[in-house]
Amino acid sequence: MFVSGEASILHADLDAFYASVEQRDDPRLRGRPVIVGGGVVLAASYEAKACGVATAMGGRQARALCPQAIVVPPRMSAYAQASKAVFEVFRQTTPLVEGLSIDEAFLDVGGLRRVSGSPVDIAVRLRRQVRERVGLPITVGVARTKFLAKVASGVAKPDGLLVVPPDREEAFLHPLGVERLWGVGRVTAAKLREYGITTVGEVAALPESALVSALGPALGRHLHALARGRDPRRVVVGRRRGSIGSQRAIGRGPHTPEFLDAVVVGLVDRVTRRMRKAHRVGRTVVLRLRFADFARISRSRTLARPTSGTEEVLVTARALLATAQPLIRERGCTLVGVAVGNLDDDATMQLELPFDEGDAAALDTALDEVHRRFGTSAVTRAVMLGRDQGLTVPLLPD
């Protein structure tokens, strides 16, 4: 039985964000299938999605599915400006805003009934203000918990509003497919289907011990709680990232080891610059790969001491890439990602003798200043010369 309480958490999610910005700025694109990005689909309008086009799909496959689609190059600065304007609307709605990405956030409006009306009134007004002030469609889910609000917005898309009253949570959630549960991807969904489990209600009907036996302790307990409506997490303002990463889709290839090394170099440069700008250091370096069959793996290594140094992270990332080369040769590679986790503030890092920064740290500092003043392309590594370094996707502050 679900816990009672007011449905006062909003999950606001911009619809097909990049593509919607393009349609907003070019009236000729409105109502037509739009694909953002050429080699790899970065975003697709709902008209293109109706043809089967999906984010991260190869451009050739996307154009085969939707030959009438209009392909436009990405404009990251326009998307960053639109995101900033939308988040301004969020923060004028409530001070309790937890950004998830540049196009979605949780908002807690539970204490605003006297000054702003009911959560439903606030959600209606929020959607209208985003449309009027920013010119973009946005979907909002309203529920008692963060999980249910996010599921509601997913069901309501595109350009919708869905409220899940506390006394209707089971009726709403239980008929949905298991893929709606946070933590259920393609592999876990397939494993559940082997046991004849296809809906959230069927997950909720199982004892926790059965899920733990099938999926392991952490995931089993997590899914058992969500399927029964238990999600105690609050909307948290100003939470810092647990990791900082970047990834790049590279198409089906084939790709030489030299090309993949250059991709890793560019990603490490990008990640460590962000870390130093945010005054963060980390201990765990993670390499993520997606293969041609869309399966994913990750490899990680924990360092002896936290760092934001480019060279230290790069040495580790290259070692992880080397160990993955046999799999890459066998299965192909379509995406590479690098992240640094176990983050902490650099002010808390214990100094080691000798106290001088050393040549590597001095070089990082000098390059950061050059990039700040003259742009990221002002100075680059020799291995990157003449190579496409991929797009810099706008992100929430680190």
The residues carrying an active-site annotation are: 104
The answer for residues whose C-beta is within 8 angstroms of residue 38's C-beta and 6 or more apart is 59, 71, 73
**Residue 37, CB half-sphere, CA atoms under 13 Å: how many?**
29
Residue with tokens 């980390």: 282
**Distance of alpha carbon 156 from its chain centroid, rounded?**
20
Q: How far is CA 172 from CA 129, 151, 201, in A?
A: 28, 10, 10
Residue with tokens 């106290």: 355
The radius of gyration of the chain's CA atoms, rounded to the nearest angstrom, is 23
What SS3 state is found at 221? helix
**Exposed, middle or buried, 364 (CB in 10 Å: 0-12/13-18/19+)?**
buried
Q: How far is CA 36 from CA 294, 305, 395, in A?
A: 20, 41, 17
Amino acid identity for residue 78 in this structure: A
